[in-house]
Structure 1
Amino acid sequence: MNNSTCPLTSSPLVRHICHAYLGLLLVLGLLLNGLALWVFCCRLHKWTETHIYMVNLAVADLCLLCTLPFMLFSLERYKAEDTLLCQLSQGIYLANRYMSISLIMAIAVDRYVAVRHPLYGRGLRSPKQAGAVCAVLWVLVVSSLLLRWVLKDQEGGFCFGNPSRQNPQTVVFSLLGFYLPLAVLVFCSLQVVTALGQRPAADVGQAEATRKAAFMIWANLVVFVVCFLPLHMVLTWRLATGLNTCVIQDTLHITSKVSDANCCLDAICYYYVTKEFQDASALAGAPAAKAHKSQDSLCVTLA
């Protein structure tokens, strides 16, 4: 079903609201992610594992944001036609959406290894290895998108309303690209929060830093779920039922726009995550240094 015939997505008022919303996301996202890149690349002289992950995350968010004007132009100008501009912008958009998801998972795994397995973490964690992980993730995500394109699958929403391009079976790529990272993120977050709660607090300052660190883990998990889960639940429902009604098309349209907000929320979290985990590591490291410098203390090192 062509989503241009659906009452919600074809409404002029809804289109104006959508354009204003995406314009706001574009301005805020470019400013915040651009600032984050400037800080990471120009102001911080020591590269850590988390810095490398966050730089890649900021790049992915920026690339996704930069496709928004082209997708809007293609949608308004060419409707459901499969133009090169439409395919290219949609491909870059999807690649960077799932790259962002994968990088958030990688940061969670890095945090989990550092906190739960600090001894092994010294051998598993390094800036070079973080760079290698990012390179592998880029290759996997881009390869999956190329395969989707070869199979002529484009999930509904933007300009791909041509029924001949609808191949619901390959939506599995989207679902695996989300549900697997979600499972890993939930597991790692719970493990790290549990570990933080079990660490004895030497003083009030350490207890407060640990509490803030745990709060940021929960905040990151909630942001991830709120932004991405609704969209993939709708995709799951469409795959399971085989339906492509206006209700599903409209819901996909809305939940896809909600997922775009993650680009701004990631950037807002950069500073707070870095600061809180740096404080928690520093405070927890002081009493433990007598043993073995606390094996990087909390070793969350999101800074």
Structure 2
Amino acid sequence: MNTSCNSTLQDWPPLDNYVAKAYTGTLLVLGLLLNGLALWVLCCRLPQWTETRVYMTNLAAADLCLLCSMPFMLHSMKRQEDTLLCQLSQAIYLVNRYMSISLVTAIAVDRYLALRHPLRARGLRSPRQAATVCALLWALVTSSLVLRWVLGTQEGSFCFSSSSKKSSTTLFSLLGFYLPLALLVFCSLQVLLSLARRPTTDPAQAEATCKAARMVWANLVVFVVCFLPLHVVLTVHLGMVSPSCAWRSRFRCLIYFTSRLSDANCCLDAICYYYMAKEFQEVRMAGLSAKAHKNQDSLCVTLT
């Protein structure tokens, strides 16, 4: 690799360097505390396992593992050396980033099936089946990272292949985002349309429906804001033919900043855990009330 094209944190202006370090440190502290607390609540404090609880527990675990690997990855990448520590920490980081993306998508698909296909959902949705889906996702994402590692080492670098040049391994990142994004947008919009058409004769159910719609919107916006900029940068980088040294340095900085933006999803996910649990409880109570009005596919069944 041409060292004149390398750009590290130490090469940035002091103010930018301090801001980047302060942001990363704040993200780590908040993320570890919030996800640790969320994982404890999900595993120990809720009364029963549901499909959503299984998905959210795996999501909290993935976010926690990503945050734990991030300091080691950043330390290795500052030296621009493709060491074993860099490879291992970046592999853990990437597995858990795309597991987080996959699990958020799985939650959206689960909601869509329960709302738009309630009869089929009774046979498709259960905590055991949710656990099976999570296990398959872990296996799929991990195996794709193994293949990416093989391709990256053949090209000369695993840690820096996506930021230093056009690389076939970048396609794994793009595929692991754009397909889930399409599914997430489709399922979220379908859920929002169904919620908008839901009768509002019962004030309690109407309030629960409104809150559930806001929750779906919030999850979709957080996902797009956190993950889309990074993958747009990767897409542009992949499409460039023989970028100059200056452009490669610019893209390296853009990838760094948009990656740190994607890391913010770990904190925002953890904040959503509380509100999701709260809204699910309110929706469940509204659903029980709605049964008295012969609403068999209540919002309780739809979102929990």
Q: TM-score, normalised by structure 1?
A: 0.90
In structure 2, what is the Cα distance between the partners aligned to 1:186 and 1:164? 28
1:270 aligns with 2:273: yes
Q: Which residue is 1:5 aligned to?
A: 6
Contact 1:60 1:96 in 2 (8 A): yes
* RMSD, aligned α-carbons: 2.6
Aligned pairs (5 A) from 1:213-292:
213-242=212-241, 243=243, 245-289=248-292, 291=294
Q: Which residue is 1:152 aligned to?
A: 152
In structure 2, what is the Cα distance between the partners aligned to 1:231 and 1:21? 17
Question: Aligned AA for 2:36?
Answer: G
Cα 1:257/1:159, change in 2 over 3 Å:
farther
Q: Which runs of 5+ in 2 are unaligned?
A: none
Q: Which residue is 1:202 aligned to?
A: 201
Secondary structure of the 1:151 match is helix
Contact 2:205 2:290 in 1 (8 A): no
1:33-90 CA-partner distances (Å, limit 9, x unpaired): 11111111111131000000000000000000001221232234xx111111110000
Q: Which residue is 2:68 aligned to?
A: 66
Question: Aligned AA for 2:11?
Answer: S
Deviation at 1:3, TM superposition (A): 8.8
Deviation at 1:165, TM superposition (A): 8.0
Aligned pairs (5 A) from 1:10-159:
10-11=11-12, 12-76=14-78, 79-152=79-152
Question: Aligned AA for 2:87?
Answer: Q
Contact 1:3 1:250 in 2 (8 A): no
In structure 2, what is the Cα distance between the partners aligned to 1:50 and 1:122? 14
Identity, % of aligned pairs? 60
Tell me which moved more, 277-286 or 31-40. Answer: 277-286
Secondary structure of the 2:296 match is helix
Cα 1:142/1:161, change in 2 over 3 Å:
closer
Secondary structure of the 2:17 match is helix
Cα 1:143/1:73, change in 2 over 3 Å:
same
Contact 2:58 2:134 in 1 (8 A): yes
Cα 1:282/1:250, change in 2 over 3 Å:
same
Q: Which runs of 5+ in 1 are unaligned?
A: none
Tell me which moved more, 280-289 or 227-236. Answer: 280-289
Q: TM-score, normalised by structure 2?
A: 0.90
Cα 1:163/1:34, change in 2 over 3 Å:
closer
Deviation at 1:132, TM superposition (A): 0.2
In structure 1, what is the Cα distance between the partners aligned to 2:87 and 2:8? 25
* Residues matched between the structures, number: 297
Secondary structure of the 1:168 match is coil
Deviation at 1:154, TM superposition (A): 11
Contact 1:37 1:55 in 2 (8 A): yes
Deviation at 1:301, TM superposition (A): 3.4
Secondary structure of the 1:46 match is coil
In structure 2, what is the Cα distance between the partners aligned to 1:299 and 1:2? 57
Contact 2:112 2:187 in 1 (8 A): yes
In structure 1, what is the Cα distance between the partners aligned to 2:81 and 2:9? 20
